[in-house]
């Protein structure tokens, strides 16, 4: 049986960016020999995100999942992962700041010895071609230091929105995850390390999109409190 890749795209009011990113993703996937599907997980958008996705993906293997409420990026990714059919599951931000072509390398590692490959902007070989502004970049580095202190070990960049999993591993982890906001990434990494899954942090190309959904004050506060809760929440979780 040929490999089957599910591409999960969480989206909240992404009508403008999704128009261009879906076009580039489809250009790439249509050239591949393996099976694939695209899942757009609409997190309660008030614009035409879902309608655009349905129209763009008409006649192609896809699912458009729509939440009636805006519940957070973690919830949107979870819904997409649990609905996916692929042997491998990639979740990427809707802007594809890391280009879809990077998944080829990730799949190579998953086909060999790894269960999860995490894209990273913080490794020596990473190519950050368009950077975030100083404030957001500093916040990201600070958050990752705190995440290493309170949740996981060793990972240099938990928040890069480009991660690929073996399908059964992704479903196991996301079926146990609880955080709906931006801190779902540290929670998933924590659960993966608790389970003993083999994780590779891989350098990627990354081009910042200026239309970030992270609010500069409110979201970091929520994310910090979420970090403090992860270990306690999963003290008795059996994976």
Lowest mean pLDDT among 37-46, 50-59, 127-136, 187-196: 127-136
CATH number of 4-233: 3.90.550.10
Q: Label residue 109 by pLDDT band (50, 70, 90).
A: very high
Average pLDDT, the chain: 91
What local confidence, expressed as pLDDT, does residue 133 receive? 61
CA 12 to mean position of chain CA atoms: 14
Backbone φ and ψ of 6, nearest 5°: -100, 130
Is the per-residue pLDDT at 48 higher than 80?
A: yes
Task: Show Cβ contacts of residue 215 under 8 Å, excluding neighbours closer than 6 positions.
Answer: none
Q: Are 172 and 239 in contact (CB under 8 A)?
A: yes
Cα distance between residue 233 and residue 180, in whole Å: 13
Quick one: tokens of 201? Answer: 């942090």
* Strand order, beta sheet including 162-166: 62-66, 35-42, 4-11, 88-92, 162-166, 116-120, 199-203
Q: What is the mean pLDDT of the segment spanning 15-33?
A: 96
pLDDT one-digit tens code per residue, 174-201: 999 999 998 999 999 999 999 999 999 9
What local confidence, expressed as pLDDT, does residue 219 receive? 65
Is the per-residue pLDDT at 233 higher than 70?
A: yes
Cα distance between residue 173 and residue 185, in whole Å: 11
Cα distance between residue 198 and residue 184, in whole Å: 19
Q: Label residue 214 by pLDDT band (50, 70, 90).
A: low
Task: Show Cβ contacts of residue 49 under 8 Å, excluding neighbours closer than 6 positions.
Answer: 11, 12, 13, 14, 15, 18, 40, 42
Quick one: tokens of 185? Answer: 């990434």
Provide the whole-model pTM.
Answer: 0.92
Q: Are 7 and 25 in contact (CB under 8 A)?
A: yes
Q: Where are the domains of the chain?
A: 4-233
Cα distance between residue 228 and residue 94, in whole Å: 28
């Amino acid at each position: 049986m040929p490999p089957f890749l599910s591409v999960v795209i969480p989206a909240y009011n992404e009508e403008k960016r999704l128009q261009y990113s879906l076009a580039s993703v489809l250009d790439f996937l249509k050239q591949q020999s393996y099976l694939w599907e695209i899942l757009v997980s609409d997190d309660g958008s008030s614009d035409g995100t879902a309608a655009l996705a349905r129209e763009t993906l008409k006649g192609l293997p896809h699912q458009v999942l729509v939440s009636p409420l805006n519940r957070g990026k973690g919830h949107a990714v979870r819904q997409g992962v649990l609905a996916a059919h692929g042997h491998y599951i990639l979740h990427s931000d809707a802007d594809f700041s890391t280009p879809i072509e990077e998944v080829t390398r990730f799949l190579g590692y998953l086909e060999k010895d790894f269960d999860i490959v995490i894209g990273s902007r913080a490794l020596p070989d990473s190519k950050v071609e368009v950077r975030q502004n100083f404030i957001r970049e500093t916040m990201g580095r600070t958050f990752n230091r705190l995440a290493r202190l309170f949740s996981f070990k060793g990972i240099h960049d938990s928040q890069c929105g480009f991660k690929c999993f073996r399908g059964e591993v992704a479903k196991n982890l996301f079926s146990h995850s609880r955080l709906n906001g931006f801190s779902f990434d540290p929670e998933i990494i924590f659960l993966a390390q608790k389970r003993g899954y083999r994780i590779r942090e891989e350098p990627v190309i990354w081009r910042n999109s200026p239309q970030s959904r992270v609010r500069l004050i409110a979201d970091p506060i929520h994310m910090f409190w979420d970090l403090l809760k992860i270990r306690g929440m999963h003290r008795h979780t059996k994976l």
